[in-house]
Chain A
Amino acid sequence: MGGFMLYVDGKPRATLEPDELLGFVRKGSVEMPVVVEADIEDRSKGDALSKGIAILQLAWFILQLVSRYIQNLPTTLLELDTLALAALAGIAYGLWWKKPKDVRRPYAVYWKTTAFPPSKLAYEYVVNVLS
């Protein structure tokens, strides 16, 4: 996801965190971005076809396992492991169902020239954990 990118003097500065954006909007330094749900959905590169194929594959695999069990055919441990992974995929799929896929461009938020440019933003810190 691209998030909200702050532009100062026409140049991208940093991604804004929700608190920061809210603070700037309240102070009147930036305009409140108007984003409707259709705009967000339009940026997604995934569609019903790509989602449908993935679900079809999962369903086919599970159907085979179940019918093997019904017909008393043996299953391998690898299939069992795959089933466990499929369950995790199901959870992730359910939770990310509405998340737009592969959004590349952030939403631009323009700093008003009359206001004083902001000091450090959260996304300008690079946390060097391995130092």
Chain B
Amino acid sequence: MFFLEIVLIRMHPRQVDVGSPTESWGDFLRACFHPFIKLMGINAQNSSHAVHSHRVSSVGGYDERSVSSRPIIVLFIGCLSGAVFGGIHCLGWNVLFRGHAEQILWRAASLAIVSAPVSILLLWGYVFWVDSLGELNSAFAISEMLAFLVPLASFFIYIVARIILIVLISMSFQSLPPGIYDTVAWTNFIPHL
């Protein structure tokens, strides 16, 4: 998200006013990804809704101008949450599915959900590290294409993996394991003879 913003800003100086209709794919992608950027709270501009209703948005409302470290914290927490989310889905690693293909799909989707945010974090760490070395070193400089493609691919993979998980969950109701409706015998936890 952050890199996407950096790349897009680099291509187009920030247009605060209603943008002149420059027909370029950068503007188009920016419009497409604005909801995601807004959700991440990174460099989120004030939406027309917030302006009209005189409200400060719940997520965002701050950008790199105010406190420079906040977008990084937001990005870190967001990516960490995504990884935790996928990690818990990995607990279903050995769940019995109807078919082998479903099991492989579940594992792959769980791993994809873990790896998508982690890849964004790694890329961010790399960019941060390269930046800290000083002027853009041509040997270390990450290509803008990569900085642009990795977050983009991560979004796409994450969304697709999440949809696969939801479909698999719905399909699993066709064949529930026996004993699924048995309730916990709470009295067993009480020491007795």
Q: Report if B54 contacts A (CB, 8 A).
A: yes
Q: Is B48 an interface residue (CB 8 A)?
A: yes
CB contact between B180 and one of A2, A3, A74, A126 (< 8 Å): that residue:
A74
Stretch of B89-97, B126-134, B143-151, B153-161 contacting A (4+ beta carbons < 8 Å): B89-97
Bitwise, A34-57 to B at CB < 8 A (1) or not (0) is 000000000000000000000000
Asked if A114 lies at the interface with its beta carbon under 8 angstroms from chain B, I say no
Interface footprint category on B: 35 or more
Residues of A within 8 A of B17 (CB): 125
Contact between chains at B30 and A131 (CB < 8 Å) = no
Q: Are B88 and A73 in contact (CB under 8 A)?
A: no
Q: Find residues 60-95 in chain A having any chain B CB closer than 8 Å to their own CB.
A: 64, 67-68, 71, 73-78, 80-81, 83-85, 87-88, 91, 95
Q: Is the CB of A77 within 8 A of B184?
A: no
Residues A127 and B85 in contact, CB atoms below 8 Å apart: no
Contacts of B48 in A (CB 8 A): 126-128
A131/B56 contact (C-beta < 8 A), A68-B184, A95-B77, A126-B48 known: no
Contact check, B188 vs A71: say whether CB atoms are below 8 A apart: yes
Q: Which residues of B contact A (CB under 8 A)?
A: 16-19, 21, 30-31, 34, 45-48, 50-51, 54-56, 58, 61-62, 65-66, 77, 80-81, 84-86, 88-89, 91-92, 95, 106, 165-166, 168-169, 172-173, 176-180, 182, 184-186, 188-189
